[in-house]
Amino acid sequence: MPILMNEFDGLPFTEAVAARTADVFDRVKDVILEVEWPLVAPEIDAIRRLKRERNAIVLAHNYQTPDIFHGVADIVGDSLALARRAAETEADVIVQAGVHFMAETAKLVNPDKTVLLPDLQAGCSLAASITGADVRLLREAYPGVPIVTYVNTSAEVKAEADICCTSGNAVRIVESLDAPRVIVLPDEYLANYIAGQTDVEIIGWHGRCEVHERFAGEEIDAFREGYDGLTVIAHPECPPDVLDAADFVGSTAQMIDYVASKRPGRVLLMTECSMSDNVAVEVPDTEFVRPCNLCPHMKRITLPKIRRALESLSPEVMVDDAIASKARESVERMLAVA
């Protein structure tokens, strides 16, 4: 995936910088164009230095571009992995290479640490689809029914829920409540998927991921016609016809594990495009067919913005104390189960 060159400040690319970043180039040379490396390497070098100076770490979601994911990230993974590992860090500063709700979650489990989000406009269509007031109305409409909220929500929404979940642990979280009916918010397709995996009655919401909802089952049919021996792996945020046509359905972490263990010769990941680039570095013998739906919010995070955030220690993400205490309980309950 080409780097957005206009994002870069033109830091000097010297022989010393090339030597200090050679380990990264060896890993990413098949997914980052050689012509881009003189722009990328100085940023990686500067961020590495700043991390040492600030006692900082970078958390990167699987949807970040390879220059970030393989170049400067200290912890990578899906939302659950990032939440779990963030709670264990001894760093003073956490840079979230992801979106706003992820930075809020990192702050919830690290209230005394500085949490930075390089671009505060990095949002999420799911998080924007529901508010705390919506959750309170649902509680009134369904008294006594436990509420599970996806981590892809604001701290305000987490504070109104009973427990959080991710796509990887959602079924386990729902069944841990030992209730006949459970409200699952806000992703409509994830709720449908969970309903098909459990006997618990699932009450959903109408939120959707703007990346995954664009996929269609007929796309898979077309790809299978064009590529022999294609293994299709889909994220549960995709529409039902996509999940029905896929060979495997799972969270981003489960998708990665599947490819790493099964080693399919040719694979189609029905999820955000950058993940194929990141997994391809680890599994070079697998051919990745890329439908390439991009998350515009994830792509707001760039190497120069990470560097500037570490230089200025801003923008900092804060969560109101009254909201944070309740939201933290929802996240901690999830981590205790998962």
Judge if 258 and 308 occupy the same domain: no
Judge if 18 and 45 occupy the same domain: yes
Query: Do 307 and 299 touch, CB atoms closer than 8 A?
Result: no
64 domain residue, yes or no: yes
In the prediction, which pLDDT does 79 show? 79
Q: Which domain holds residue 35?
A: 5-123+298-312
What is the pLDDT of the chain when averaged over all its residues? 94
> What would the two tokens of residue 149 be?
């909220």
Residue 4: pLDDT above 80? no
Residue 54: pLDDT above 80? yes
Contacts of 199 (CB under 8 A, 6+ apart): none
Region 97-112 average pLDDT: 94
Q: Is 16 left (phi over 0), alpha (psi -120 to 50) or beta?
A: alpha
In 3D space, the residue among 337, 282, 270, 251 whose CA is nearest the CA of residue 78 turns out to be: 251
179 domain residue, yes or no: yes
Distance CA 62, CA 98 (A): 9
Contacts of 323 (CB under 8 A, 6+ apart): 155, 156, 159
The CATH number given to whatever domain includes residue 163 is 3.40.50.10800
337 domain residue, yes or no: no
> What would the two tokens of residue 111 be?
């209230």
Between the alpha carbon of residue 264 and those of residues 61, 72, 188, 275, the distances in Å are 23, 28, 30, 16
What digits encode the pLDDT tens for the residues 177-214? Answer: 999 999 999 999 999 999 999 999 999 999 999 999 99
**Is 248 in a helix, a strand, or coil?**
strand
Res. 305 pLDDT band, cuts 50 70 90: very high
In the prediction, which pLDDT does 124 show? 95
Distance CA 241, CA 221 (A): 11
Query: Do 235 and 167 touch, CB atoms closer than 8 A?
Result: yes
Residue 3: pLDDT above 80? no
Query: Do 252 and 64 touch, CB atoms closer than 8 A?
Result: no
Contacts of 11 (CB under 8 A, 6+ apart): 42, 43, 46
Question: DSSP letters along 270-318, please?
Answer: ESBTHHHHHHHHH-TTSEEE---B--TTGGG--HHHHHHHHHHT-SBP-
Judge if 10 and 36 occupy the same domain: yes
Query: Do 129 and 206 touch, CB atoms closer than 8 A?
Result: yes
Query: Given 174, 209, 244, which residue is the final one in a domain?
Result: 209
Distance CA 244, CA 235 (A): 11
> What would the two tokens of residue 35 be?
């012509």
Res. 6 pLDDT band, cuts 50 70 90: low
Judge if 68 and 84 occupy the same domain: yes
How many alpha carbons lie under 13 Å from residue 275 in its C-beta half-sphere? 29
321 domain residue, yes or no: no
Judge if 115 and 144 occupy the same domain: no
Res. 12 pLDDT band, cuts 50 70 90: very high
For 70-116, the three-class secondary structure string (H helix, E strand, C coil) is CCCCCEEECHHHHHHHHCCCCCCEEEEECCHHHHHHHHHHCCCCEEE
In the prediction, which pLDDT does 233 show? 97
Judge if 107 and 23 occupy the same domain: yes
How many alpha carbons lie under 13 Å from residue 161 in its C-beta half-sphere? 32
* Number of residues in the chain: 338
Judge if 155 and 205 occupy the same domain: yes
Judge if 115 and 197 occupy the same domain: no
> Total domain count for the chain?
3
In the prediction, which pLDDT does 51 show? 98
Judge if 87 and 22 occupy the same domain: yes
